[in-house]
Amino acid sequence: MCGLVGLVCPGENEAHHSRAAVAAAMRCQRHRGPDETGTWQGGEVVFGFNRLAIIDIEHSHQPLHWGPPELPGRYTINFNGEIYNYLELRAELTKQFGAVFATDGDTETIVAAYHYWGPAAVGKLRGMFAFLIWDSEHKVVFGARDPFGIKPLYFASGPGGVAFSSEKKSVLELAPTLGIRPELDRKALQHYLILQYVPEPESLHGQVHRVESGTSFTVQPGGQVVAERYFPATFRPRAVHGAADENRLYDEITAALRDSVAKHMRADVTVGSFLSGGIDSTVVAALAKEHNPDLITFTTGFERSGYSEIDVAAESAAAIGVKHVVRAVTAQEMMDALPLITWYLDDPVADPALVPLWFIAREAREHVKVVLSGEGADELFGGYTIYREPLSLAPFEKVPGALRKAMGRVSTKIPQGVRGKDLLRRGALTLEERYYGNARIFLDDQLRQVLRTYDPNVSHQDVTAKPYRESQQWDPVTRMQHVDLFTWLRGDILVKADKMTMANSLELRVPFLDPEVFKIASQIPSELKLTKETTKHALRRAIRDIVPAHVLNRRKLGFPVPIRHWLKDEMHDWAVDIVRQSQTDQYIDKTAVLRVIEEHRSGVADNSRRIWALIVFMLWHGIFIEGRIRPVVPEPHYPVKL
């Protein structure tokens, strides 16, 4: 787990003169790898690396050079992440090809696999990764990002070459070297206000992009990035006949999870686990305890009824038999920390849950260097309540199209807050029109009120059209899962998980997001994902003997944040000040925003999520565009408590 920078220049001379620029660009991502830092230049390529040492601590320094005996040092790799099946791959490469390794780490495994298997090697990797491999013989960089998008990889190109980095801040630092001047992308801003995140491959700077999840690519000096998807995330629900068939499926789920957690525990440092009140993090912690009897778990919450899982998590920790650490967060702490957190994010993400995640990651880093977490279970196993929507809206499917549209027009005449208004509106829409993830921040009529640059041609369907096209043959629930894998999961869930933990030099691992776990999860038929009583039915059945009974059928809260209450009281004046000081008038109607804040305070409407999205954007703008807000970034220093 680290931070990388890579610059592919048009010529060797340009690369030589760019080494200092790469070294400077690495400084703003020091938190990703405080243990070691270094740069290397070879041919037309410059690599920079910040290391958080987890495996083979004494060796596996990066950038790492490797080659077969006949061409030693042919390849140089820059790698962020972990490969959990590296021991098995090393053994296979040694047996099949006689591969020779100089270290005991996973980094060499990637480059050796690429040498012997070519680009197909990336499909054999079980892990989270973003890497660049420079082949000095063929003068080409090959790179890839993991199947689900756990680890980030930004890039930008210009006359001065192509720059890659784990953090967008570093790419922006290299903009003068590339000969570009990135500016705010208005379309990406509108997508952000609709979705609460900027969807891949966009960023809020128009000339800076992200390599998409499950994608590999090549780039030659003086050329452009040529990308290809290697992981299509295909669901293949299988028929299940009778109890024996069903139980066999549950056993396969259990076995896949147990194997994944075992491999995710591989490390030369202490591994802990996040623990909420839900089954996802609880089963991960319970399985991790099988490998580390001294496991420490961590949870966060708020001292407000209905907004904390501290008590349930503590009960789970006691039942599992692990040491447990709690960190409660106040409204004032959130307000004080948000500018710094926004700096770490690179692009705005309007998910309030990322703030307590930052605090608990900071607490965890004083005890461990790695934590496991339960992200991905909902997308793979059907855990979101909204996945039941096709059942509740089934009667609308029988209504002729013209009449359904008329019902939609009627819904616009119903006053806001009247029961049934949204049901009627959503029932009038097709699945492709109505479903675009778990967060729906601004609807079109609301956007028109606050966004000066509103474009009626910009829609969530710009983002969801492709996954919907790819999933036409599946049932509605599976199609929703597929859409979430390419939108909500990689746009919100995994961004906050990576950014908030790496901000604290803490490695986060997600055992649910493993290709072997996905392989079995993708086979679950819809009737075993959701029932009238519960979500994630198959997962709950599979782990019923692993997690404590009080958690098994409990609805997960995650890390809920009481901003609905705080924005009426403790956070009201703070939010108003952010709006008034913001220099975003060319994009946002600040008078309309202040009106939205006052409507929320008076109880006319719950505008909390929309307010939060706007103030996070305004803080982001103040940092990255105006330069008016300059958070004090602490130097990474984490003495581990023994």
Choose the catalytic residue: 1, 2, 320, 579. Answer: 2
Instruction: Classify strands 75-83 and 64-66 as parallel, antiparallel or unpaired.
Output: antiparallel
**In the chain, what are the helix, strand and coil shares in percent, each to the nearest 5?**
45, 15, 40
628, two tokens: 């008016």
Contact in structure between 583 and 628 (CB atoms under 8 Å): yes
Contacts of 380 (CB under 8 A, 6+ apart): 481, 512, 513, 517, 518, 521, 522
115 contact partners, CB below 8 Å, separation of at least 6 = 66, 67, 68, 74, 75
28 is catalytic: no
Q: How far apart are alpha carbons 423 and 442 in whole angstroms?
A: 17
Cα–Cα distance measured from residue 79 to residue 133, given in angstroms and rounded to the nearest whole number: 8
Q: How many CB atoms lie under 10 A from the CB of residue 239? A: 7
Numbered residues of the known binding site for ATP? 373-374
What is the rounded distance in angstroms from the CA atom of residue 394 to the CA atom of residue 606?
28
Residue 616 CA from chain centroid, whole number = 18
Q: Are 539 and 257 in contact (CB under 8 A)?
A: no
Residue numbering of the annotated binding site:
106, 373-374
Query: What's 343's DSSP letter?
Result: H
CA-to-CA distance for 495 and 501, rounded, in angstroms? 10
Q: Can you tell me the distance from the alpha carbon of 612 to that of 618, in angstroms, rounded to the nearest whole number?
A: 10
CA–CA–CA angle 365, 371, 374 (5° rounding): 135
Contact 427, 407 (CB under 8 A): yes
Distance (Å, whole) CA 565 – CA 488: 25
Task: Name 453's Cβ contacts closer than 8 Å, sequence gap at least 6.
Answer: 186, 189, 190, 586, 587
The two structure tokens encoding residue 341: 């957190």
CB contact burial 88-114 (16+ within 10 A = b; e otherwise): ebbebbeeeeebeeebbbbbbbbbbbb
Assign residue 535 a region: left if phi > 0, alpha if psi is -120 to 50, beta otherwise?
A: beta
Q: Per the omega criterion (within 30 degrees of 0), is the bond before 182 cis?
A: no
- C-alpha span between 1 and 23 (Å, rounded): 19
φ, ψ dihedrals at 231, nearest 5°: -125, 100
Secondary structure of 287-316 in HEC code, one letter for each residue = HHHCCCCCCEEEEEECCCCCCECHHHHHHH
- CA 29/CA 165 separation, integer angstroms: 9
> Phi first, then psi: what are they for 51, rounded to 5°?
-105, 135
Which residues face 227 on adjacent strands? Answer: 217
Q: With contact defined as beta carbons under 8 Å apart, do 165 and 29 qualify? A: yes
Three-state DSSP at 30 gives helix
Distance of alpha carbon 40 from alpha carbon 153, whole angstroms: 19
Amino acid at residue number 52: L
Nearest to 203 by CA among 106, 394, 345: 345
Active-site residue list: 2
